[in-house]
């Protein structure tokens, strides 16, 4: 019997796992891959983006609510999930930007913040790890720190001289960045919506593309066909009810148009210890049939 493949996705907050790479995770779960989401913070300082839930009772219990939402999303995706235990930094706003709250994830010493992820990698022993690009995908301090600790832990987990107290060394074989926001993807969706005689939610966004969001589309190395699992992704996203407006941006393009116009989720392979031809269609390319035993 072939060894079970293992994938770890490292995310900053509860809900990020459902908006970035969720259909890919659901696809791999359906294929028998063991998938673990590592969530860096509890999302305690996140906004309530669903106007129907923007109430004092929700704000008073936001930490517990976000954990319950994560439990629901995890069950929908079929993944395992672990909390790294850091406190949400919040998204600073204003000019000049205010300082981050004391003790938050974004202010942690990198070596200290890397330790819990190293421990988790050594316990779960993933063959593949995914996270965000160096800018966090967008400039949230928790997303940027999530990127930093994932890159550091990918290297440290396999080195027995680093964090020797955190378990037996385990070296993942591939590290990917999620590249969900590419201009080509949104242009394809925009044009498909217009061709169907509908109003595109992306028109103004595409006009301003590049002013504050450099296009990472040319960096994509790996496109995973997962359109069948887009409804699972959306169900998991709706489970984060405080964070997602069910009438908002994410759900304005009909599902059949999404599945037809751009049926993949896209990634950049940034570190690999195995050979795999480019472009890829599988995060486990070069690993299948050769994966090391747990």
Per-residue confidence in pLDDT tens, the chain, 294 aa: 357 999 999 999 999 999 999 999 999 999 999 999 999 999 999 888 888 888 888 888 999 999 999 999 999 999 999 999 999 999 988 888 889 999 999 999 999 999 999 999 999 999 999 999 999 988 899 999 999 999 999 999 999 999 999 999 999 999 999 999 999 999 999 999 999 999 999 998 888 887 667 899 999 999 999 999 999 999 999 999 999 998 887 899 999 999 999 999 999 999 999 999 999 999 999 999 776 655
**66 lies in some domain:** yes
pLDDT (0 to 100) of residue 289: 79
- Answer yes or no: is 16 a known binding residue: yes
Q: Is residue 208 part of a domain?
A: no
Q: Which domain holds residue 136?
A: 6-180+220-238+265-272
Which whole-number Å values give the CA distances from 225 to 61, 113, 140, in the listed order?
38, 34, 28
What pLDDT shows up at residue 292? 67
Within 8 A by CB and 6+ apart from 118, the residues are: 153, 156, 157, 162, 163, 166
- Is residue 253 in a domain? no
CATH (domain of 91): 3.40.50.10320
Determine whether the annotation assigns residue 240 to a binding site.
no
C-alpha distances in Å from residue 60, one per residue of 23, 41, 44, 47, 54: 32, 18, 11, 12, 11
What phi and psi values does residue 174 have, to the nearest 5 degrees? -145, 140
Known binding residue 13? Answer is yes
Q: Is residue 210 part of a domain?
A: no
Does the predicted TM-score (pTM) go above 0.85?
yes
pLDDT at site 1: 39
Instruction: Note the pLDDT of residue 212.
Output: 67
- The closest of 258, 255, 280, 260 to 270, measured between CA atoms, is 280
Q: Which tokens belong to 90?
A: 């919040």
| Phi and psi, residue 221, nearest 5° | -115, -20
- Coil/strand/helix, residue 267: strand
What's the total number of domains in the chain? 1
**Which pLDDT score is estimated for 211?**
64
Asked if the structure places residue 52 within a domain, the reply is: yes
- Per the domain annotation, does 29 fall within a domain? yes
In a domain, 12, yes or no: yes
Q: Residue 204: what pLDDT?
A: 87
DSSP 161: T
For residue 205, tell me if it sits in a domain.
no
pLDDT of residue 276: 93
């Amino acid at each position: 019997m072939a060894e079970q493949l293992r994938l770890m996705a490292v995310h900053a907050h509860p809900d990020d796992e459902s908006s970035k790479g969720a259909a890919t995770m659901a696809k791999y779960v359906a294929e028998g891959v063991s998938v673990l989401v590592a969530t860096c913070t509890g999302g305690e300082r996140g906004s309530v983006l669903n106007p129907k839930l923007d109430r004092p009772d929700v704000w008073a219990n936001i930490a517990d609510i976000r954990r319950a939402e994560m439990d629901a999303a995890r069950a929908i995706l079929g993944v395992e999930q672990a909390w790294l235990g850091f406190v949400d930094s919040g998204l600073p706003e204003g000019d000049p930007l205010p300082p981050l709250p004391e003790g938050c994830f974004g202010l942690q010493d990198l070596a200290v913040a890397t330790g819990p992820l190293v421990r988790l990698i050594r316990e779960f022993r993933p063959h593949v790890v995914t996270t965000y690009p160096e800018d966090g995908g967008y400039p949230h301090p928790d997303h940027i720190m999530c990127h930093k600790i994932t890159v550091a832990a990918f290297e440290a987990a396999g080195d027995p001289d680093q964090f020797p107290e955190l378990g037996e060394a385990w070296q993942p074989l591939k590290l990917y960045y999620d590249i969900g926001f590419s201009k080509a993807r949104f242009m394809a969706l925009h044009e498909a919506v217009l061709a169907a005689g509908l109003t595109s939610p992306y028109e103004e966004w595409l006009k301003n593309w590049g002013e504050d969001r450099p296009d990472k589309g040319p960096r994509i190395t790996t496109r995973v066909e997962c359109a069948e699992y887009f409804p699972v992704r959306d169900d998991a996203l709706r489970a984060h009810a405080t964070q997602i407006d069910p009438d908002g941006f994410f759900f304005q393009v009909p599902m059949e148009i999404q599945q037809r116009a751009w049926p993949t989720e896209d990634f950049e392979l940034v570190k690999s210890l195995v050979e795999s031809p480019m472009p890829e269609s599988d995060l486990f390319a070069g690993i299948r049939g050769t994966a090391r035993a747990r």
